[in-house]
Amino acid sequence: MAKTKAKLDWRMLLLLPIPLLWCWAASAGLLTNLEHMLLDLRFRSRGPLAAPVDIHYVNVDSRAIQSIGERPWNRAKFAEVARLLFEEGGAKAVGFDFVFSEQGHSDLVDREAAAKGNVALGRVARKHPELILAAQYTGGDARTQQGIRQFPFLRSGFKNREKNDTPELPQYPIMGATLTQSWGTIGLIDVDLAASKGETPRWVPLFAESIGPTFWHMGVQLACVQLGLPPSSARRAGSFVELVKPSGEVVRRIPVSDEQTLETNWFSEWNSSQFNPQTSVADVLVAGEMLKSEKEAERAEARDYFSRFKGGIVLIGPTDPLLQDLAPTPFDSEPVPKVGLHGNIVKTIVAERYLHRTPSWFLWVATLVLTLAVALLTITGGARSLFFKILALLALAGYAVVAFYVFRAYDWVLPMTAPLSAAFTTGFIATIIQLVDEEKQKGRIKGMFSAYLAPTVVNSLIDSGKEPELGGHEETITAYFSDIQSFSSFSEMMSHAALVDLMNEYFTACTDIITEEGGTLDKYIGDAVVAMFGAPVPLSDHAYRACVASIRVQRKIDELRVKWRSEGGKWPVVVHNLRARLGMNTGGATVGNMGSRTRFNYTMMGDTVNLAARMESGAKLLGVYTMVADQTRIDCEKHGGDRIVFRFLDRIKVKGKNIPTGVHEVVGFKDEISAQTLECLALHARAVERYHAQDWLGAIALFEQSAKLEPHQPNKSLAIESNPSLIMIERCHHMKEHPPGANWDGVFVMKEKG
């Protein structure tokens, strides 16, 4: 046992690379998509958060496009929208989520009208510094003198601001002639795609350092205004971005990754009137026109409409699907407008609900500790093995529950994919190893017990899951008995070792055939084989199977005799002529575990079993080697048809029984019986009819004819003593001399057991 345990422990060391491999995969970013899926589950499990700031979305939707026309849009319309939101709505800040750049123009557009629109938007920007105009680093054809604009990520080595690109900016005169002499406020709308790794925008760079000023993200600019600070009241402070008052007092310390990026804490789904109130640019323009109406009711309705924006932050962004500015969020599996990202950044900063990531070492420690705990619980065996495996599953579930809880309560993002996957796969493989070991042990135990009990009994005990107990039940079975003819002469002529070898070979051959036909070995008694068909495994055709087994056993014994003769002097002559007699009977019997409470045997009892034993012993008295009672023949023919040939022998009354029974010889398979034997059987059947008619001379004449055709002719050298025809000839002579009388019922009373 100690050796097995040591082997198991050694193999468990081979599982160590599994958690290390998962940790490496997580560190290399191969599990990011799975980790994002689990993070999104945590968002949805947590649910929406109350907004710490009043944010409204004014959408450039299909209705708005109908009002302002197709691209390139006239900026005068947006200037009017911004003016109305500030002056009529009392908005605290307004942010545009698209860049009013030179590349937004076309030669098809009226240059003069476009210029007037730019001037109009520039005037609003100059008058209202809280109007945040978008800027963005773009790829493709958006080039500067240095080439394609690249976002100056510090982690990528862009630490010399004099060499960094500037973003794509609103054109003059919306912005000033130069960056140092400009009006309006710039807000970046870039997303850190490399960190987000997927369609969902998760990380944003809070600033970009380039030639001239530092450009701050729109979320930072809007948060400054919401907190009562002038736009751009931010500064770098190591691994933080600080929002500061003019006096120098720090209002917010925003933790950043790679000294620059912030992970978005999503507060709700997009389509939520409670958390994300929305309206259309078209509605703002219509309400603006209503303010000029001569009707007081319309003016009042317009004022009521604009009152919703008072003291709030307004984000104006493209929401029409045709504008292709959509992406999924943790709350929205289908793509929604990306403008919602900036609103969630503002909420994250104002509420100080920053998502916290664990240090890199935590991934390795959590993975290894959880894997070790699950593996140890999994491989713990013994009587409480199932209990410990349940604990292993609870450990996995417990880690997941903790990860969900700390996210909900403290905004901590614990790694889940690597720890759970490593622990599960390691535990699973450990379980497989353990199951293989247990199956081997189970097979070993099963093999050991099958040497003493029938394999079907062992299987039945294992499958039931119950401890074996004393008791029996009534079952219809076919009982099978076999015995070696003149076995006592074997033991006299052979050494003990040789006799054991012979019997083992003989028992193996017989038992294999019995089990192959679905029978169950009951026991060996000396040279006898006792078996049953129909229990413990139910068989509807048990009588037929038993008869087939008897034919195969007799055929196998014929083959063994040839083998033993070919082995020369290894065996005495008596072995060369070994023959066995078989008896069977079908009916109800008590089967089950019988014996003492400390040791018992799965066996059978009852009149059916006793009669089967008489069939075996009585076969000798009727000159046959396989004899069955009437019920066995009837049930065999019910399921096997005429495939097996029987010969009616007699109606007998065995010793100790008052009810007679018909007995039959199992001759063999119909398609294997010779024409001579079939003729013998026909003559024998006619002779039996004469016998029952008390025509002794007629019966003798027919029996004498069949005797010449019998397959077994008396031969002392072959240990064949007689055959049914010769036995019946002697019987007829006896009956002739001692007539049974007119009331004779044809029953022969056996005076001895055989």
**What are 229-244's pLDDT values in tens digits?**
999 999 999 899 999 9
CB 208 within 8 A of CB 167: yes
pLDDT tens-digit readout, 710-722: 999 999 888 888 9
CB 536 within 8 A of CB 460: yes
Residue 531 sits in the same domain as residue 569: yes
pLDDT tens-digit readout, 363-373: 999 999 998 88
Span 494-516, mean pLDDT? 92
What are the residue ranges of helices labelled H in 252-384?
281-290, 296-307, 339-351, 360-379
Return d(Cα 542, Cα 584) in angstroms, integer: 11
In a domain, 305, yes or no: yes
pLDDT tens-digit readout, 730-746: 999 999 999 988 888 88
* pLDDT exceeds cutoff 70 at 494: yes
Residue 665 sits in the same domain as residue 680: no
Span 4-14, mean pLDDT? 54
DSSP annotation string for 73-103: PPHHHHHHHHHIIIIIT--SEEEESS---GG
CB 614 within 8 A of CB 627: no
Residue 178 sits in the same domain as residue 306: yes
Which residues, listed in sequence order, are joined to residue 262 by a DSSP beta bridge? 204
* pLDDT exceeds cutoff 50 at 146: no
CB 86 within 8 A of CB 47: no
Q: Which range among 138-147, 278-287, 538-547 shows the weakest confidence by mean pLDDT? A: 138-147
Residue 259 sits in the same domain as residue 397: no
Give the pair of three-digit tokens for residue 600. 């018992």
In a domain, 532, yes or no: yes
Scan for tokens 């004099």, then name that residue.
Answer: 162
Return d(Cα 521, Cα 524) in angstroms, integer: 8
Residue 657 sits in the same domain as residue 513: yes
pLDDT tens-digit readout, 348-366: 999 999 999 999 999 999 9
Percent of the chain with pLDDT over 70: 89
Residue 429 sits in the same domain as residue 486: no
Q: Which pTM does this prediction carry?
A: 0.65
Residue 58 sits in the same domain as residue 84: yes
* pLDDT exceeds cutoff 60 at 140: no
In a domain, 574, yes or no: yes
Alpha-carbon Rg for the chain in angstroms: 49
Helix (H) or strand (E) holding 663, with range, is: strand 661-669
Return d(Cα 338, Cα 315) in angstroms, integer: 11
Residue 383: what pLDDT? 58
Return d(Cα 414, Cα 411) in angstroms, integer: 10
CB 347 within 8 A of CB 51: yes
- CA-CA distances (angstroms) from residue 298 to 88, 118, 281, 598? 15, 30, 18, 101
Give the pair of three-digit tokens for residue 562. 């040839």
Return d(Cα 234, Cα 435) in angstroms, integer: 62
Q: Residue 556 — pLDDT band, cuts 50, 70, 90?
A: very high
pLDDT tens-digit readout, 430-489: 888 777 777 777 777 666 556 555 566 566 666 655 555 566 789 999 999 999 998 887
Query: What is the overall mean pLDDT for the chain?
Result: 88
pLDDT tens-digit readout, 304-345: 999 999 999 999 999 999 888 999 999 999 999 999 999 999
Residue 659 sits in the same domain as residue 725: no
Of residues 554, 586, 750, 747, the one with CA closest to residue 666: 554
| Domain final position from 447, 481, 513 | 447
Residue 441 sits in the same domain as residue 522: no
Return d(Cα 276, Cα 337) in angstroms, integer: 12
In a domain, 653, yes or no: yes
Interior CA angle at 166 toward 164 and 169, to 5°?
175
- Give me the amino acid identity at 42: R
Residue 602: what pLDDT? 81
pLDDT tens-digit readout, 89-135: 999 999 999 888 876 555 556 777 778 888 888 899 889 999 999 99
Span 145-162, mean pLDDT? 81
Interior CA angle at 677 toward 672 and 683, to 5°?
145
Residue 647 sits in the same domain as residue 683: no
Give the pair of three-digit tokens for residue 754. 């055989």
Return d(Cα 677, Cα 687) in angstroms, integer: 15
Q: Residue 179 — pLDDT band, cuts 50, 70, 90?
A: low
Percent of the chain with pLDDT over 90: 62
**Beta strand segments in 296-438, E:** 313-318, 326-327, 336-337, 356-357, 412-413
Span 85-91, mean pLDDT? 95
Residue 177 DSSP class: S
Span 582-587, mean pLDDT? 97
Q: How many helices (H) and strands (E) does the chain have?
A: 24, 28
Return d(Cα 604, Cα 616) in angstroms, integer: 16
In a domain, 35, yes or no: no
In a domain, 100, yes or no: yes
Residue 347 sits in the same domain as residue 372: no
Residue 326: what pLDDT? 94
Number of domains in the chain: 4
- CA-CA distances (angstroms) from residue 637 to 58, 114, 541, 722? 90, 104, 10, 28
| Domain final position from 351, 379, 399 | 351
- CA-CA distances (angstroms) from residue 131 to 121, 268, 421, 585, 692? 10, 25, 48, 104, 125
Residue 5: what pLDDT? 44
Sign for the pseudo-dihedral over CA of 485, 488, 490, 493: negative
CB 589 within 8 A of CB 479: yes
In a domain, 334, yes or no: yes
- CA-CA distances (angstroms) from residue 133 to 70, 73, 215, 330? 21, 15, 12, 27
Range of the domain at 165: 50-351
Residue 113: what pLDDT? 76
Q: Which range among 10-24, 95-109, 387-401, 713-727 shows the weakest confidence by mean pLDDT? A: 95-109
| Domain final position from 285, 317, 351 | 351
SS3 479: strand
Omega of the bond leading into 173 within 30 degrees of 0 (cis): yes
Residue 589 sits in the same domain as residue 735: no
DSSP annotation string for 204-260: EESEEE-SSSEEEBHHHHHHHHHTT--TT-EEEETTEEEEE-TTS-EEEEEE-BTTT
Cβ-proximal residues to 458 (8 Å cutoff; 6+ apart), any chain: 446, 449, 450
Of residues 266, 287, 285, 167, the one with CA closest to residue 217: 167
- CA-CA distances (angstroms) from residue 669 to 95, 140, 263, 502, 515? 98, 88, 84, 28, 20
Residue 3: what pLDDT? 43
CB 174 within 8 A of CB 122: yes
Q: What is the CATH number of the domain that holds 583?
A: 3.30.70.1230
CB 622 within 8 A of CB 602: no
In a domain, 36, yes or no: no
Q: What is the greatest pairwise CA distance in the chain?
A: 148
Sign for the pseudo-dihedral over CA of 604, 607, 611, 614: positive
